[in-house]
Copies of this chain bind each other. A is one copy, B any other.
């Protein structure tokens, strides 16, 4: 590992703009922006994937490995990634810093507290929650309806027993009411942090967040609770992007990590903007598959921030295609040509969809040990038939050297392919139901949308509030194009059931809830925490 000051210097960042957090992590000061802002932007490349499967596709891995490979062949590249959340690290998923020879480091510190950004979001969120309950306790001057408070509490932990709780029990502890905890990454504040342009914009957005309704049904925003300035103060360091490096010394901005269902699932706008000034190419990623992650990246993040991606890399694995083609979770290692061919339908549709945003696509076939050469060839041949460039990536085993073919294909696409003509999928002027319908029919390929009575009530209220032109953030199962997790491949003709629509007014979107979305994960029978060890010198094992 190089000292982060050295990584920064190589990226052209003067020491005065770097705030160190130990020797290997740093935050980029706002003063740096003043120096960078007039430079031209580099080219933005989104790494996305087919629908996720139990075998894992390797989106973060590919983002890291591709940035290493690009740098290795002389293209000045910066990666922009999301911060891992502690809950999943210690729960089901383990670390989120890549793997093999395509990792960001120091992995353990990034996976644990990192520079404290997520803790700051937790504090700001729970300060507002405490202010709300205290407001009720102290007389409720705003006339808040205790039954219609939508602001919950958050914790960066997988803890199912906090999903639904009753608070305020006991003598003198304030009104008793039902509430619950979400994981911190599901906090609207995380989405706000990732979409804001600067501290002033952050403050404005925090003030707009909806906390509940008064007894007359009027929305009450965070601004009214008197804590928005204190919340902004709590977030003043968190809003600064973090700089780390890959195992090969590539600079990586790791900043923010909102949920990819009830939020938009992308790293911060501020971090991406810095990266675009520092790199000729910026490789970034979005949560889940392209149906959710890429759509929100384009329609929410790029739209709000005025960003225009130059290309998309669609990560696929032999195993993910077989799974999407009907092979069982335990059968993915066995050769299975029929499943592979059937699963290609999933890849094909994602490729088509990305084209609808005017963004050229490159398929990255992420190679796993044990992949059968014939199946690898099959996938590459299928891509050729579809007319989409594709390359094999071996970055897990070989780091940047294993991504040369992918990097070369990307540069060819960027330099010689048809230039991107980015446009979001839907126009701002459409009403929320029309926006939903457009996503469902053009991206998911369902035939229709059905709104539950609760969703209809919410839509009527949103219309009454004059908010029916909001952007939409789809909260849907990631496992299928449809809202039914087991409908794999490329389903058609289904109806998407909208259960409810909630407002994230600070983030600037309406959250469209289909199916049951869990915003507080639980721990499995063998939590990942049980495998974590630390020796007396502080060296951690078992985390990433």
Contact = CB atoms under 8 A, between A and B. Distances in A.
B137 A160 contact: yes
A5 to B, nearest CB: 10
A30 to B, nearest CB: 7
A350 interface: no
A253 interface: no
A150 interface: no
A163 to B, nearest CB: 5
Contact of A19 (B22, B167, B203, B233): B22
Contacts of A226: 527, 529-530
A90 B86 CA distance: 25
Contacts of A192: none
Interface in A391-443: none
Interface string A163-181: 1111111101111001000
B230 A530 contact: yes
A292 to B, nearest CB: 24
Contacts of A162: 153, 167
A123 interface: yes
Contact of A523 (B30, B130, B537): B130
A371 to B, nearest CB: 33
B131 A527 contact: yes
A369 interface: no
A113 interface: yes
Given A112-B234, A173-B161, A523-B134, A536 B199 contact: yes
A257 B156 CA distance: 22
A122 to B, nearest CB: 8
Given A22-B21, A160-B137, A230 B127 contact: no
A331 interface: no
Determine chain A's interface SS by DSSP, over half rule. mixed
Contacts of A237: 109, 113
Contacts of A540: 233, 236
A283 B210 CA distance: 48
Interface in A228-247: 229-230, 232-234, 236-237
Interface in A199-232: 199-200, 203, 226-227, 229-230, 232
B233 A534 contact: yes
Contact of A159 (B119, B129, B229): B129
Number of this chain's copies in the complex? 2
A155 interface: yes
A71 interface: no
Contacts of A533: 229, 233
Interface in A498-540: 522-523, 525, 527, 529-530, 532-534, 536-538, 540
Contact of A165 (B90, B166, B172, B230): B166
A393 to B, nearest CB: 31
A138 B525 contact: yes
A543 interface: yes
14 contacts: A20-B20, A108-B233, A116-B116, A119-B123, A127-B529, A134-B161, A165-B166, A165-B167, A166-B166, A200-B536, A229-B532, A230-B529, A230-B530, A236-B534
Given A20-B23, A161-B167, 14 more contacts: A20-B20, A90-B127, A126-B157, A134-B161, A137-B160, A138-B525, A153-B162, A160-B172, A161-B175, A164-B168, A164-B169, A173-B522, A226-B529, A236-B534
Question: Nearest 8 CB-CB pairs, A to B?
Answer: A164-B170, A230-B529, A119-B119, A230-B532, A130-B159, A133-B161, A164-B169, A134-B523
